[in-house]
Amino acid sequence: MPMSTSGSRQRWLALDVGNRRIGVAVSDPLRVTARPLTTLERTPEGAEFQALKVLIEEYGISRVIVGSPRRLSGDESEQTRRVEAFISRLATVCPPPIVRGEERLSSKEAERVMAEVGVAPADRRRRRDEFAAALILQWYLEESGECD
């Protein structure tokens, strides 16, 4: 359940952007932990951008972290360019700063975590993107050590 952010630190949101779906995760108000929130379907009309705007407002988000897909070598891929185009469009509706976070192997790790916490195999495919977003956010929280 969303909490008021007045007088407290604000949450961060992370996105795992794919061609068909966007996994969404949110931090706790102290920005110590991340949890999967939802998975949005991408649409030709771009309805996902409005849905993200609503989530940003509802949760009082002060920063958005988008997983930056790179090859294991660190080089850009075609997906990196697609995500950069997504970020450019998101910036037109998203007031908080948008930063890039580590994404490599997040989907594989998400599968492992879901099995570990007992997510039913039938639900894993549907929830993989939001669990991957939670991992991207948790890694970012651990690495950044930032406060706004």
Quick: pLDDT tens for 64-88: 999 987 666 667 778 889 999 999 9
Q: Tell me the domain boundaries of the chain.
A: 11-143
Strand segments, DSSP code E, in 6-106 are 11-17, 21-27, 34-41, 61-68, 98-102
> How high is the pLDDT of residue 102?
76
Statement: residue 3 has pLDDT above 50: no
By the 8 A CB rule, do 39 and 146 touch?
A: no
- pTM for this prediction: 0.81
> What is the overall mean pLDDT for the chain?
84
95-135 residue pLDDT tens: 999 999 877 666 666 767 766 777 777 777 777 888 889 98
Confidence at 54, pLDDT banded by 50, 70, 90: very high
Confidence at 148, pLDDT banded by 50, 70, 90: very low
Query: Rounded to an integer, what is the distance from CA 124 to the centroid of its chain?
Result: 17
By the 8 A CB rule, do 106 and 31 touch?
A: no
Superfamily of domain 11-143: YqgF/RNase H-like domain (3.30.420.140)
Confidence at 2, pLDDT banded by 50, 70, 90: very low
